[in-house]
Amino acid sequence: MTRKMKKVVIPGWMSLSPLVKPRISIHPWHFHPSGSNNFSVEFDENLPLKKPAWGWCSYYAFAEDVTDKKIWSNVEVVSKNRKHLPLDYFVIDDGWCLWGDWDRPDKSRFPDGISGFGKRLANEGYKIALWISPYQVDPVSHIVKEHPDWILRQGNEPLVSFAFCKLFDRPVGKLRFALDYKNPQVKKHIRQTIDLFVAEWKIDMLKLDYLYAPFFDPTATLEEASAELVELLEHIKANYPKVYTVACGPFDLLAGRVDSAYVSENVILPVLRGWWPLNSVMHRIRLERLQQCLVARKELKGAFNFDPDVFACSEDLGLTDAQVEMLLAAVRETNGNRFLGDDLSKLPQARLEKYVYKLFAE
């Protein structure tokens, strides 16, 4: 097939980057270390894309409080409504293990392990997807205790790779340490983790999060960070071509290397369920940002399938009927991934019929 290269300039380094860089931000890791906010992305327009993924994701319904039973209650709803809910994937998102302990699923949440749960899904005709943040670890994880030399440090302190907010990261349990990906053992470990997921656990979809983390290693160059991420993505693509990938990371490096990517920040914040009017304000702002990003970054279509975040419509989100319709239209019109984010077992039938079924209607 003849290559037809397309080069576009996109506002924002990645999905979490705003279209216009503010003067002050509590999230400096949302911006490229160079300070630039406009990036050139080049990709082959003739590169065939996989069919966009349709499914359900645990994070938006349960945040980190995910269990096999909670997911299965949603599997049962979907199975009873296959005509209206033609889903393929069920995503086990954050909470299935401690960050970094990817080979040790929480048995209190998944007694049969991830592979065992995947077999149950397969028996029902569904595929299993698994979330991972490959470059970050929980401070209390086994990997930190067993391999302290794998953790990046600033002086005598571990390097903090991600925090919800620097003032509250420890109290809310969001503090994360950075892995030293330049260490050959760490590099090998990350790739072996992917191999474990796919070759042994039979994972059908990988949700790869926080792929910008390598760029905030003060001991590495930007070229080293780029090379590491490219190597990881190409390892997955070359060795597991049938696995569908969803990624959050730098657009220029994801282009042509992943099957789909987030193009805006999450619209739905599960921690705000029931917190009216705060949830109403925050979800309105994020919905508007999604609409703006879909327009401003539309030239990225062809580089990968768009993932516009999940569709959710439960009343505890604080969205008006008009806003629910706007979110529904935004997700449909991307012609990309379509994922549901409510606990369907508790969603009234009336809302299923009024909104959810319409997401997949021809």
pLDDT of 170: 52
pLDDT of 29: 79
80-95 residue pLDDT tens: 999 999 999 999 999 9
Cβ-contact 257, 211 below 8 angstroms: no
Domain for residue 11, yes or no? no
Domain for residue 362, yes or no? no
- Over residues 111-136, the mean pLDDT reads 98
147-151 contact pairs (CB < 8 A, 24+):
147/185, 149/183, 150/179, 150/180, 150/183, 150/185, 150/186, 150/189, 151/177, 151/178, 151/179, 151/180
Structure tokens at 28: 């400096």
Looking up residue 204, the CATH number of its domain turns out to be 3.20.20.70
52-82 residue pLDDT tens: 999 999 999 999 999 999 999 999 999 999 9
Domain span holding position 120: 47-357
Domain for residue 302, yes or no? yes
Distances (CA, A) of 249 to 12, 34, 83, 155: 11, 16, 34, 28
Identify residue 263 by its one-letter amino acid code.
V
pLDDT of 171: 45
Domain for residue 303, yes or no? yes
- Over residues 292-302, the mean pLDDT reads 97
Tell me the C-alpha distance between 97 and 65, whole Å.
11
Cβ-contact 220, 152 below 8 angstroms: no
pLDDT of 25: 72
**359 φ/ψ angles, rounded to the nearest 5 degrees:** -60, -30
pLDDT confidence bin for 155, thresholds 50/70/90: confident
Domain count across the chain: 1
186-234 residue pLDDT tens: 999 999 999 999 999 999 999 999 999 999 999 999 999 999 999 999 9
271-280 contact pairs (CB < 8 A, 24+):
271/63, 272/317, 272/318, 273/314, 273/316, 273/317, 274/316, 275/318, 276/318, 277/318, 278/318, 279/316, 279/317, 279/318, 280/318, 280/319, 280/320
pLDDT of 165: 56
Domain for residue 4, yes or no? no
Q: Is residue 172 over pLDDT 60?
A: no
Domain for residue 69, yes or no? yes
Tell me the C-alpha distance between 281 and 273, whole Å.
12
- The rounded percent of the chain whose pLDDT value lies above 90 is 88
Alpha helices in the chain (DSSP H): 59-62, 68-80, 113-123, 142-146, 184-195, 222-239, 251-254, 278-296, 321-333, 349-351, 357-360
Q: Is residue 251 over pLDDT 90?
A: yes
Q: What is the mean pLDDT of the chain?
A: 95
Domain for residue 16, yes or no? no
pLDDT of 164: 54
Domain for residue 29, yes or no? no
pLDDT of 166: 54
What's CA 88's distance to the chain center, in Å? 17
Tell me the C-alpha distance between 95 and 102, whole Å.
11
Q: Is residue 174 over pLDDT 90?
A: no
Output the CA torsion sign for 247, 249, 255, 256. negative
